[in-house]
Structure 1
Amino acid sequence: MTLCTSITCHLQELFVGIIILCLVGLNYIQLNVDSEEMCACFQCMAGSKDDPWFAERYKNLVPKLLSRQNSELSPNTRKWWERLQGRPTKKNYSELVETLFSLFPDEEHYSDAGPHRCRTCAVVGNSGNLKGSHYGPLIDAHDVVIRMNKAPTAGFEKDVGSKTTHRAIYPESAVDMDNSTHLVLVPFKILDLQWLISVFTTKHITRHIFVNLALRRASCLLFKVMILHPEFMRYVYEVWLQKQGKYPSTGFMMLVLSLHICDQVNVFGFGASKDGDWHHYFDKRYHHLLNKGVHRGSTEYNITLKLHHKNRIRMYKGW
């Protein structure tokens, strides 16, 4: 065999090897793109097949945020949601939906999952364990920062941060917010949908509502309004909480929502303070009774811990 022939053979072998590697690589990429488990993070939230406990609970096809297209409620959800109303209502749900989405964006939110996305979420609860934590800069470094109800940031920035991209409220917990924050309504009743319409139109529903004029007048907030889907609320209650309590807390629903809209989730301000008290970081007089009322706080907390131990989220306890 001549030197020329030998070089030619080696080049041919190298060329064939490169082609095989390329084909294998393309097949690997295609398999992973099609699997809905690809993202740009080290671990993707949707990659649940290796964890039966998580796979049993993580139902990505459940509608998360309400739109015209997905607004029809299943019979089971309608029955469950009506039980939360407290009293029968004659208001037509379909008419309310039409009015809502003549005012607010009617679109599919957060449907951009893919191999190039690594969206980070910070879900910030109200626990006293945030006091002295110095988590503020870490919280603000996330793409999405979700806060609940009236939790303030002013005066607490070094521990809780100053950034709020989403604030989950129901009417009785509404606070002033600027146009950098998405208002995420958690509708426990049809009256809550009526209230949302009222805030941006006639403002006729005011009973038990404390909303600053800045919120009422912020027409640009119209484009940042989102409504949690009743189907999603029932899914959290029945699948994640196994029907414990009457309905999930706002904080726990936002935690589960973050599992569906983000690739990496970090949780702050959940659980007791280091002295074992259950109180707010902004109001030490308030003491939360873990299993009293409509929520099952111990169940929610134990599931949050389990998600942490399974590396689905990272939980920061402040101590």
Structure 2
Amino acid sequence: MVVMRKRIFKLLTFLVLLIFITSFFLNYSSTGVPTTWFPKQMVLHLSANLRKLIKSQPCTCAHCISQSKVSDWFDQRFNRTMQPLLTVHNAALQEDTYQWWMKLQREKKPNNLSDTIKELFRVVPGNVDPELKKKSVGCRRCAVVGNSGNLRESSYGPKIDNHDFVLRMNKAPTMGFEMDVGSKTTHHLVYPESFRELGENVSMVLVPFKITDLQWVISATTTGTISHTYVPVPPKIKVKQEKILIYHPAFIKYVFDNWLQGHGRYPSTGILSVIFSMHICDEVDLYGFGADSKGNWHHYWENNPSAGAFRKTGVHDADFESNITATLAAINKIRIFKGR
């Protein structure tokens, strides 16, 4: 099947070249006067339609996430039109989304969201990260690296680094743990209270749970006036402004509604990372999710004597989220590497 798709792509590419070469010779005579029977507009129209046809070709992976009619359960939940990142073009929230999002952390005196977003996009890019735009063909692979202690002594590092995109979250370090968790990071999902300094070429994806989170980005890259939300937060960050992306509040609600179906107060960074990756990649592999082989829930970079301390937060439904990823793996939409 992969060979057949490549042949089709080559044929379509040849047809595009043939159209343009034919247009060049037919549109212009030796005196430079254009003819009328094969107008340039027709060529542009044909090439535009051809680009759409090529773009609609399925990916070349063995199991493509976006492929429909594999599972009714998946098709009922996956909405390929949802945009994961906030931009100047999709910043207006529907009223129900706005009201839901504003209740997540119940700010006492929230600023105006519209004004905050305008100010935000004067500081950070207002367009989607071009690296996240899907290629027309091929197989784009994501590794989503969680923080579970089951990564210890897993030797997953080389496998993780072999992916096109490597997503990490919150305070997860790599230095000193490269053999097990890898050293490559393309996108790191954080919120102000979970921020850690990132590598120079790493894109920070802010997951905003309140308007103050957006204001913190503005402050942390300019004046440094915000140093406390409900806990102390870094007043200044070293992340380049052009490497800062904003997770769309509407996408958070989409994960909550479609995937979690109302379980928990709002999604964890882990499940937000998983669904995010399913919308930007053709294949997704999960590492560092769940308990270790002894049933302990802890971070791979620290020891925690109380198994399950990170499982019951009162905000997220870890069991339901775990069932979601297990079901996705069962229908070959993702792969889960359980470590030790």
State the TM-score bracket (shorter-chain normalisation): 0.7 to 0.9
* Partner SS, residue 303 of structure 2: strand
> 1:38 and 1:161, CA in 2 relative to 1: closer, same or farther beyond 3 A?
same
1:257 aligned residue = 276
Distance of aligned partners of 1:85 and 1:292 in 2 relative to their CA distance in 1, 3 Å threshold: closer
Query: 1:39 touches 1:117 (CA, 8 Å); kept in 2?
Result: yes
Q: Which residue of 1 aligns with 2:248?
A: 229
Q: CA shift at 1:114, angstroms?
A: 4.7
CA shift, 1:115, in A, is 4.3
**Residue ranges of structure 2 left out of the alignment (5+ in a row):** 1-7, 13-49
Q: 1:166 to 1:180 in 2, by over 3 A?
A: same
Q: CA deviation at 1:211?
A: 3.2
2:264 corresponds to:
245
Describe the SS at the equivalent of 1:44.
Answer: coil
| C-alpha distance 50-108 of structure 1, shift in aligned 2 (>3 A) | same
Matched, 1:151 2:172: yes
- Find the counterpart in structure 1 of residue 161 from structure 2: 140
Equivalent residue number for residue 278 of structure 1: 297
Distance in 1 (CA, whole Å) between partners of 2:165 and 2:291 is 24
Q: Render the CA deviation track for 1:252-286: whole Å, top value 9, x for unaligned.
A: 10100000000110000001100011111111227
Residue 168 of structure 1 corresponds to which residue in structure 2? 189
Q: What amino acid does structure 1 have at the position aligned with 2:181? A: V
State how far apart, in whole Å, the 2-side matches of 1:114 and 1:46 are.
Answer: 14
SS in 2 for 1:41: coil
Q: Return the match for 1:131 from 127, 145, 152.
A: 152
**Aligned pair partner of 1:39 in 47, 59, 62:** 59
Aligned partner letter, 1:233: I
- Which residues in structure 2 correspond to 1:9-24 (within 5 Å)? none
Give distance in 1, aligned partners of 2:110 and 2:234: 26
CA distance in 1, matches of 2:120, 2:136: 34
Query: 1:159, 1:111 → 2: CA distance?
Result: 26
Partner of 1:10: none
For residues 195-225 of structure 1, the C-alpha deviation after alignment (integer angstroms, 9 at most, x for no partner) is 0000111100001344386x34x5xx11111
1:93 to 113, 120, 136: 113
| Aligned match of 1:80 | 100
Q: Could you tell me which runs of 5 or more consecutive residues in structure 1 were left unpaired when the two chains were aligned.
A: 1-21
Decide which of 35, 39, 60 is 2:80's aligned counterpart: 60
What residue in structure 2 maps to residue 267 of structure 1? 286
Q: Does 1:206 align with 2:227?
A: yes
CA contact (8 A) 2:54 2:136 kept: no
Q: Determine if contact 1:121/1:142 at 8 Å carries over to the other structure.
A: yes
For the Cα contact (< 8 Å) 2:298–2:310, is it kept in 1?
A: no
Residue identity over aligned pairs, in percent, reads 44
Deviations 1:64-89 (A, max 9, x none): 10011100001111110111132343
Q: Deviations over 1:70-114 (max 9, x none)?
A: 000011111101111323434111111111111111113466435
Report SS of the residue matched to 2:83.
coil
Taking only aligned residues, the RMSD between alpha carbons, in angstroms, comes to 2.3
* Aligned-partner Cα distance in 2 for 1:90–1:299: 31
Question: Secondary structure, in 3 states, of the residue corresponding to 2:143?
Answer: strand
Q: For residue 234 of structure 2, what is the amino acid of its counterpart?
A: V
Secondary structure in 2 matching 1:278? coil
Cα contact 1:127–1:278 (8 A) shared by 2: yes
Q: State the one-letter code of the partner of 2:202.
A: T
The answer to whether residue 187 in structure 2 is matched with residue 192 in structure 1 is no
Structure 1: distance between partners of 2:99 and 2:276 = 22
Partner AA of 1:300 in structure 2: E
- Looking at structure 2, the residues matched to 161 and 134 of structure 1 have their Cα atoms a distance apart, in angstroms, of 9
* Closer/same/farther in 2, CA of residues 295 and 303 from structure 1, 3 Å limit: same
Question: What amino acid maps onto 1:182 in structure 2?
Answer: S
How far residue 230 of structure 1 moved from its aligned partner, in angstroms, is 0.5
Counterpart-to-counterpart distance in 1, 2:336 and 2:183: 19
* 3-state secondary structure, aligned to 1:103: coil
8 Å CA contact 2:83, 2:248 repeated in 1 = yes
